[in-house]
């Protein structure tokens, strides 16, 4: 039987998540432009609203009105579906992100695995975009993205497993509970895992210094070179939603989630998450881009062995 | 809202019926895409269809209340194996050429093998009861799963990893270019 409560719950949760994603993505785009501008001693967007805060809204309207151009040799269906494969998984990943004590769409008992599984589908969209565009820059961007995501997924998962071993659970909410006394990042073993996580997560979302899949100087814009209008906007929303998700996972796994004194949980959660995003932006606009071989070498010859070692030490300590 | 709920309930539309209704849609799509994997003229389309099939199988696991299996299915097959498949396809030459339907020169032999497999499958399916008595799903205890993988099923688990290792080494040997 349907009841009023579960139906309204489902609908309001869906609307809340979608609304949050849209607002958060627009805010992050504006913020990234401001941060990058100030790092480069510029002002960034200043004209639309206070310090250009409405710039993203203006951009969104512009992108909505733009012509949707499809390259002549494109693989129609694949090209058309690609943006959805990038955005839908990132929306689905929100299902197990704990914003507060009761503010979680669904606390699955396999929460960590669920997020990993759902966000691993995103790479299919990148492939489809790269391949369907019938453009060599897009194809190269797609191949690079694939190589990078496969490589960095290994240390990423290994570092998350270390946290799971200490917390003895896969549920996001229980991992937060396990940090009631002190944050995981303060534990030496887990601090290393946290560092590995942040590094490989940066690579997973293709941000500098790991942004070779969309290296502007070599590949124009990588896999989304040929996209325009709203489809391009969807790739952008996907990218910034993924940025939010990896930071939210970092908050949950290493920085005590929504726990904190005085302020309500959701405020703490957002403060922590956006601080991590700020650090990632700072890194992006400070470090130069790595070469392809350096990037691969770093993942396989440094991060992966170290995260295996860390996992082994965690196992030894726990036994 | 209450009108909608009343409408849904008065037509006997419970969550159970909706679950059943969506199951046939998803199962049908899975089979359809499995067919596309075989008949697609383009190897990239085949790979993408295979990814959809694997997601469909994960959905089937969800209908069986085994969320863990479904998640692992997506993580391992779609996230890792399909990514590697597509990566390899992208590295092959002429990926953009529209490939025609490849007719295998040994089409008769393959048909014979397929028919044999079909007969074996029919025999196996007929051996057991069709639609066995379904017990209520027990929520999966992850701790117990992990423990049994390490104790009772330790040996098969290790054998499988040995097999993967052998495949890995084999791939490296094949892929290695001779230095001259």
Interface of B with A in 93-122 (CB under 8 A): 95-96
Query: Given CB atoms, is B84 within the 8 Å cutoff of chain A?
Result: yes
Kindly indicate the confidence band of residue B11, based on its pLDDT and cuts at 50, 70 and 90.
low
When comparing pLDDT for A108 and B60, which is higher?
B60
- Complex ipTM value: 0.79
Residue B23 falls inside a structural domain:
yes
Secondary structure of chain A as H, E, C letters = CCCHHHHHHHHHHHHHHHHHHHHHHHHHHHHHHHHHHHHCCCCCCCCCCHHHCCHHHHHHHHHHHCCCCCCCCCCHHHHHHHHHHHHHHHHHHHHHCCCCCCCCCCCCCCHHHHHHHHHCCHHHHHHHHHHHCCCHHHHHHHHHHHHHHHHHHHHHHHHHHHHHHHHCCCCHHHHHHCCCCCCHHHCHHHHHHHHHHHHHHHHHCCCCCCCHHHCHHHHCCHHHCCCCHHHHHHHHHHHHHHHHHHHHHHHHHHCCCCCCCCCCHHHHHHHHHHHHHHHHHHHHCCCCCCCHHHHHHHHHHHHHHHHHHHHHHHHHHHC
pLDDT of residue A126: 84
Question: Are A139 and B83 in contact (CB < 8 Å)?
Answer: no
Domain count, chain B: 2
Residue B66 falls inside a structural domain:
yes
pLDDT of residue A278: 92
Residue B28 falls inside a structural domain:
yes
Q: In Å, how far is A125's CA from the nearest CA of chain B?
A: 10
Q: In Å, how far is B122's CA from the nearest CA of chain A?
A: 34
For residue A117, give the nearest of B4, B51, B71 by CB distance: B71
pLDDT of residue B142: 77
Burial status of residue A147 (CB atoms within 10 A of its CB: 0-12, 13-18, 19 or more): buried
Instruction: Give contacts of A3 with chain B, Cβ < 8 Å.
Output: 5
Kindly indicate the confidence band of residue B117, based on its pLDDT and cuts at 50, 70 and 90.
very high
The verdict on B40 and B91 lying in the same domain is yes
For residue A143, give the nearest of B8, B78, B91 by CB distance: B91
Distance CA A8, CA B20 (A): 22
pLDDT of residue B162: 92
pLDDT of residue A229: 78
The verdict on B116 and B64 lying in the same domain is yes
The verdict on B45 and B116 lying in the same domain is yes
Domain end residue (candidates: B128, B151, B168):
B128
Q: In Å, how far is B133's CA from the nearest CA of chain A?
A: 25
Structure-block tokens of residue B20: 């059943």
Question: Are B83 and A117 in contact (CB < 8 Å)?
Answer: no
pLDDT of residue B131: 67
Kindly indicate the confidence band of residue B138, based on its pLDDT and cuts at 50, 70 and 90.
low
CATH number at residue B92: 1.20.120.1200
Residue B112's Cβ-side half-sphere holds a number of Cα atoms within 13 Å equal to 4
Query: Given CB atoms, is B44 within the 8 Å cutoff of chain A?
Result: yes
Question: Are B74 and A118 in contact (CB < 8 Å)?
Answer: yes
When comparing pLDDT for A315 and B66, which is higher?
A315
- The residue of chain A with its CA nearest to that of B88 is A143
pLDDT of residue B106: 77
Query: Could you list the residue range(s) of the whole structural domain that residue B112 is in?
Result: 2-128
Instruction: Give contacts of A146 with chain B, Cβ < 8 Å.
Output: 83, 86-87, 90
Residue B40 falls inside a structural domain:
yes
Contact between A113 and B75 under an 8 Å Cβ cutoff? The reply is yes
Query: At residue B40, does pLDDT exceed 80?
Result: no
pLDDT of residue A184: 80
Residue B170 falls inside a structural domain:
yes
The verdict on B153 and B121 lying in the same domain is no
Residue B133 falls inside a structural domain:
no
The verdict on B71 and B19 lying in the same domain is yes
Query: Given CB atoms, is B86 within the 8 Å cutoff of chain A?
Result: yes
pLDDT of residue B120: 94
pLDDT of residue B115: 94
Q: State chain B's maximal CA–CA distance in angstroms.
A: 79
Query: Given CB atoms, is B4 within the 8 Å cutoff of chain A?
Result: yes
The verdict on B113 and B145 lying in the same domain is no
Query: Given CB atoms, is B67 within the 8 Å cutoff of chain A?
Result: yes
The verdict on B28 and B62 lying in the same domain is yes
Q: In Å, how far is B47's CA from the nearest CA of chain A?
A: 10
pLDDT of residue B101: 57
pLDDT digit of tens for each residue in chain A (319 aa)?
A: 456 667 777 788 888 888 888 888 888 988 888 888 888 888 888 888 788 888 888 888 888 888 877 777 777 788 888 888 888 888 888 888 888 887 777 777 888 888 888 888 888 888 888 887 777 788 888 888 878 888 888 899 899 888 888 888 888 888 888 888 888 888 888 888 889 999 998 888 877 777 777 766 677 767 777 787 788 888 888 888 889 999 999 988 888 878 878 888 788 888 889 999 999 889 888 888 888 888 888 888 999 999 999 999 988 988 8
Residue B78: other Cβ atoms inside 10 A? 25
Query: At residue B116, does pLDDT exceed 90?
Result: yes
DSSP classification of residue B1: -
When comparing pLDDT for B100 and A195, which is higher?
A195
Residue B136 falls inside a structural domain:
no
pLDDT of residue A183: 83
Q: What percentage of chain B reaches a pLDDT higher than 70? A: 77
* Chain A residues in contact with chain B using a Cβ-Cβ cutoff of 8 Å: 1-4, 7-8, 73, 75, 78, 108-110, 113-114, 116-118, 120-121, 123-124, 127-128, 130-131, 134, 139, 142-143, 146-147, 149-150, 153, 170
Residue B161 falls inside a structural domain:
yes
């Amino acid at each position: 039987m349907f009841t009023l409560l579960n139906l309204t719950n489902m609908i309001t949760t869906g609307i809340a998540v979608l609304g949050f994603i849209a607002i958060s993505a627009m805010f992050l785009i504006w913020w990234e432009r401001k941060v990058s501008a100030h790092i480069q001693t510029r002002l960034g967007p200043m004209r639309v609203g206070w310090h250009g805060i409405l710039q993203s809204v203006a951009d969104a309207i512009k992108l909505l009105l733009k012509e949707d151009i499809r390259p002549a040799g494109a693989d129609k269906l694949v090209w058309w579906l690609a943006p959805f494969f990038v955005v839908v998984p990132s929306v689905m990943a929100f299902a197990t992100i704990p914003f507060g004590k009761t503010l979680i769409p669904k606390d699955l008992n396999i929460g960590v695995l669920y997020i990993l599984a759902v966000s691993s589908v995103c790479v299919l969209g990148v492939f489809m975009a790269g391949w369907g565009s019938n453009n060599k820059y897009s194809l190269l961007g797609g191949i690079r993205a694939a190589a990078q995501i496969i490589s960095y997924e290994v240390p990423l998962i290994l570092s998350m497993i270390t946290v799971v071993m200490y917390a003895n659970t896969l549920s996001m909410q229980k991992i937060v509970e396990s940090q009631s006394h002190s944050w995981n990042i303060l534990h030496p073993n887990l601090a290393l895992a946290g560092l590995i996580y942040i590094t490989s997560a940066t690579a997973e979302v293709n941000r500098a210094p790991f942004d070779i899949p969309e290296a502007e100087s070599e590949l124009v814009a990588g896999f989304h070179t040929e996209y325009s209008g709203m489809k391009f906007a969807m790739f952008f929303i996907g990218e910034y939603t993924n940025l939010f998700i990896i930071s939210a996972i970092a908050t949950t796994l290493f920085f005590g989630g929504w726990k904190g004194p005085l302020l309500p949980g959701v405020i703490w959660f957002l403060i922590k998450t956006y601080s991590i995003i700020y650090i990632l932006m700072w890194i992006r606009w400070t470090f130069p881009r790595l070469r392809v071989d350096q990037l691969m070498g770093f993942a396989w010859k440094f991060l992966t062995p170290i995260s295996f070692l860390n996992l082994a030490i965690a196992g030894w300590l726990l036994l | 809202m209450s009108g909608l709920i009343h409408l849904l309930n008065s037509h006997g539309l419970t969550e159970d019926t909706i679950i059943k209704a969506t199951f046939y849609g998803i199962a049908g799509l899975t089979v359809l895409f499995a067919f596309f994997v075989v008949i697609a003229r383009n190897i990239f389309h085949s790979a993408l269809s295979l990814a959809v099939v694997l997601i469909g199988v994960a959905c089937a696991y969800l209908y069986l209340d085994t969320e863990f299996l479904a998640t692992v299915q997506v993580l391992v097959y779609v996230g890792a194996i399909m990514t590697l498949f597509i990566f390899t396809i992208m590295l092959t030459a002429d990926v953009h050429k529209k490939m025609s339907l490849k007719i295998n020169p040994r089409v008769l032999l393959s048909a014979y093998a397929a028919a044999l497999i079909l007969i074996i499958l029919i025999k196996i399916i007929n051996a057991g009861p069709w639609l066995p008595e379904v017990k209520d799903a027990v929520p999966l205890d992850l701790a117990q799963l992990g423990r049994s993988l390490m104790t009772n099923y330790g040996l098969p688990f290790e054998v499988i990893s040995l097999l993967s290792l052998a495949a890995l080494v084999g791939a490296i040997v094949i892929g290695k270019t001779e230095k001259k």
